[in-house]
Amino acid sequence: MAEATASTLPGVRGLFQQRLSGDDALLRLAERRFRETGMPAEVYADNPDQLEYLLGYIPEHDTLPVVHLNRSTDLLRTSGRDLIESFATRFVGRVAGLVVHDKASMAERLPEVISTMRGLGTPSAAQPGRPMVYLEYAAGLSPESFAALAEQLADVELASLCIDIGHVGIQHARSIRLISDSGAAWSNLSLTDPRLPEVADQVEAATRSALRVVLDLIHRIGAVGKPVHFHLHDGHPLVNGLSDHFSFFTRFPVPFEVDGRYSLPALFGTDGLAAVLDAAMRSVPFGSPSFTLEIHQVDGRLPLDAASELFTHWRDLSNAERTNYWLDVLANNYLLATTLLERTGSAEAG
């Protein structure tokens, strides 16, 4: 890898969105916190007009925003391709990439996926600055199929993949069968289930093994020689509902003792994030990995202090303080990730 310096390390984006009900004061709060932290952004947008609106709040940054399209967008449908194309042509030079979810049905239609990605990722000579289109690992393609897809797109300039480490990790952990006399399985178990102590060691082993699968996928896709985007977040396969999109500082409480604590570790933790960033910087061509902290599973409140001036027209500050807390968690994860990247760069330079 070429020598990395602080100025050449990739920017770590944070998720920029209005997560809670309220008016645009919440976006102005996000704008202030992102500017204070120096963090670039990734945004969710359902259509180009919504993106145009959100871009008006995102602070200017040398690292352009990435746009996460609505999860229902299907690049194998004409409507989905037209929507992607409308984003790509309208925001030339203004956004770095467009992230589109994969679909479970794509496993049986990989030739069509490759053909469509080729069409979307072959730029017109009249459109310099056209954003990259990233297909995200989200709906259950096997890591082997996903890596093979990258190999088929090796020569396509503006089409690549997004590795969501939480999705990869959760799917892998849940693929490991739990052996239990009581019938405990991933599908019927939770963090509060009385059967959990019986299989706690198996759960921890399966959860720990997820990191190796993620690292192997990074190495294989990185070897293709293309830019790769990463969604970074933690989680645990026993969380009901949305099992990932947590902070890397999260542990998950349980009602029994495990190694001196009443909690289970997450998929990755801070050490796992360090390993992921190191693998990305070593495996993906220099200058072409990009990262977003896609963290939004956060519950807490933080006083607004000076930012309360943005909410003088609000009577109830609950959602403002919840948003402020989420932004603080995001900022702490950003500081962690950028510090780890700087260490990786320093180690390579040494």
132-136 and 97-101 as β-strands: parallel, antiparallel, unpaired? parallel
Q: What is the sign of the dihedral through the CA atoms of 335, 337, 323 and 246?
A: negative
Please give the structure tokens belonging to residue 159: 């089409």
Q: What is the sign of the dihedral through the CA atoms of 325, 326, 329 and 334?
A: negative
* Residue given tokens 């009901």 in the structure block: 240
Longest dimension (CA), the chain: 65
Please give the structure tokens belonging to residue 26: 């919440």
Please give the structure tokens belonging to residue 286: 């220099």
Which candidate, 128, 135, 46, places its Cα nearest to that of 83? 46
3-state secondary structure of 212: helix
* Residue given tokens 């984006």 in the structure block: 13
Which CATH class for the 12-179+202-253+267-349 domain? Answer: alpha beta
Neighbours of 5 (CB within 10 A): 11
Instruction: Name the pTM for this structure.
Output: 0.94
* Residue given tokens 């059967």 in the structure block: 195
Residue 213, phi then psi, degrees to nearest 5: -65, -40
SS3 percent helix, strand, coil of the chain, rounded to 5, is: 45, 15, 40
Q: What is the sign of the dihedral through the CA atoms of 167, 168, 171 and 176?
A: negative
Distances (CA, A) of 195 to 178, 184, 208, 245, 347: 12, 7, 20, 26, 45
3-state secondary structure of 84: helix
d(CA 28, CA 30): 5
Q: Give me the tens of pLDDT residue by residue for the chain, a chain 350 residues long.
A: 444 455 568 889 999 999 999 999 999 999 999 999 999 999 999 999 999 999 999 999 999 999 999 999 999 999 999 999 999 999 999 999 999 998 888 888 889 999 999 999 987 655 788 999 999 986 667 888 888 889 999 999 999 999 999 999 999 999 999 999 999 999 999 999 999 999 999 999 999 999 999 999 999 999 999 999 999 999 999 999 899 999 999 999 999 999 999 999 999 999 999 999 999 999 998 778 999 999 999 999 999 999 999 999 999 999 999 999 999 999 999 999 999 999 886 666 54
How many CA atoms lie less than 13 Å away from 25 in the CB half-sphere? 18
Contact predicate 244/167, CB 8 Å: yes
